[in-house]
A = this chain, B = another copy of it.
């Protein structure tokens, strides 16, 4: 999906004494981000793309460029990396006394607060055309709309909800236990990676990623690689995250995901429905019809509380990954739908 001609610039923004919601202060909170295109003089053409689980800022290039939803002739795109991805401040790259398992818990609100500071202080941007996010990026988009209701004109959430419900907690706890039950994990103070735990984590993750029907239809097959076996297909999805990430980083972001709830924002006091009702801007809500992480039912439940919500499911067998344009048909649908929404061409209820 990457566009070879797409040019981005990598930046880092450092916040001194960043106080997390947990109360712990990070002496230096670093945020890695990338920009595409040019911020105009009025500083009113910016779109924010907050990253999904363990992703780098390049993870949204399926959405950027000519013929895509975000044409750089029109928009200035800022793609941020969430705390814990191994590049922005993370357990793995933070010095003691906050290294590894001692790194503080990070909430979705912490990620949003830090990026708000980045936008207003580093880029002097006071308003966004949109916040668009996939998965944990969608969680951040919802949080933006609740925390800073008039900072953007609209939000788009693909394959991600405004709250992690019980099933997500059960699933993520299983994934965390898969990592931590490897003796080599050593309560997070490992000297070498907990390889068995990482492999188990990857295998369990792979089971949730695609739809059951995707597996039965063997959509892991690739016409360009006819020699690819089932085991190769599994390995592709099992090893991708597990070999790329540090165990403490993987766990940190799973805990951010696990605790996500826009209802926890002041003054909503845990009331997810009131928090959703508080959203002032149009929301393009695009669940995948076969997402096992963020199922259709949850999206339907939440969409009912949105003042200006357009629920537009991605009809796909690609499970959770459909929300990140993992296949050509969904890439087209996402780009066309988001482009229309950016132009105000999608009706809201």
Q: Which of A183-239 contact B (CB under 8 A)?
A: 183, 196-197, 199-200, 203-204, 206-207, 210-216, 218, 220, 230, 233-234
The listed residue with most B CB atoms (<10 A of its CB), out of A196, A207, A213, A295, is: A207
Identify which of A6-14, A140-148, A169-177, A246-254 touches chain B.
A169-177
The listed residue with most B CB atoms (<10 A of its CB), out of A197, A199, A212, A297, is: A212
The total of chain A residues at the interface (CB under 8 A) is: 39
Contact status A234-B170, CB under 8 Å = yes
Take A298-B216, A301-B216 as given contacts and tell me if A177 and B203 are in contact as well, using a CB distance cutoff of 8 Å. Answer: yes
Residue from B181, B213, B295 within 8 A of A213 (CB atoms): B295
Take A178-B181, A197-B181 as given contacts and tell me if A167 and B301 are in contact as well, using a CB distance cutoff of 8 Å. Answer: no
With a cutoff of 8 Å between Cβ atoms, the chain B residues found around residue A292 in the complex are: 212, 292
With a cutoff of 8 Å between Cβ atoms, the chain B residues found around residue A301 in the complex are: 216
Q: Name the prevailing secondary structure of the A interface residues.
A: helix
Q: Does A166 contact B (CB under 8 A)?
A: yes
Take A181-B178, A197-B181 as given contacts and tell me if A166 and B215 are in contact as well, using a CB distance cutoff of 8 Å. Answer: yes
Contact status B204-A174, CB under 8 Å = yes
Take A170-B234, A207-B170 as given contacts and tell me if A200 and B212 are in contact as well, using a CB distance cutoff of 8 Å. Answer: no
Take A183-B183, A204-B204, A292-B292 as given contacts and tell me if A216 and B177 are in contact as well, using a CB distance cutoff of 8 Å. Answer: no
Q: How long is the Cα–Cα vector from A303 to B298 in the complex, in angstroms?
A: 29
Contact status B165-A181, CB under 8 Å = no
Q: Does A182 contact B (CB under 8 A)?
A: yes
Q: How long is the Cα–Cα vector from A297 to B210 in the complex, in angstroms?
A: 14
Contact status A199-B181, CB under 8 Å = yes
Take A170-B234, A213-B295 as given contacts and tell me if A177 and B206 are in contact as well, using a CB distance cutoff of 8 Å. Answer: no
Contact status B200-A181, CB under 8 Å = yes
Q: Identify the 8 closest CB pairs spanning chains A and B, nearest first.
A: A166-B215, A167-B215, A181-B196, A174-B204, A167-B212, A165-B216, A177-B200, A174-B203
Chain A residues with CB under 8 Å of chain B are 165-171, 173-174, 177-178, 181-183, 196-197, 199-200, 203-204, 206-207, 210-216, 218, 220, 230, 233-234, 292, 295, 297-298, 301
Q: List 10 A-B contacts (CB under 8 A).
A: A166-B216, A166-B218, A170-B215, A177-B203, A178-B200, A181-B182, A212-B297, A212-B298, A216-B298, A292-B292
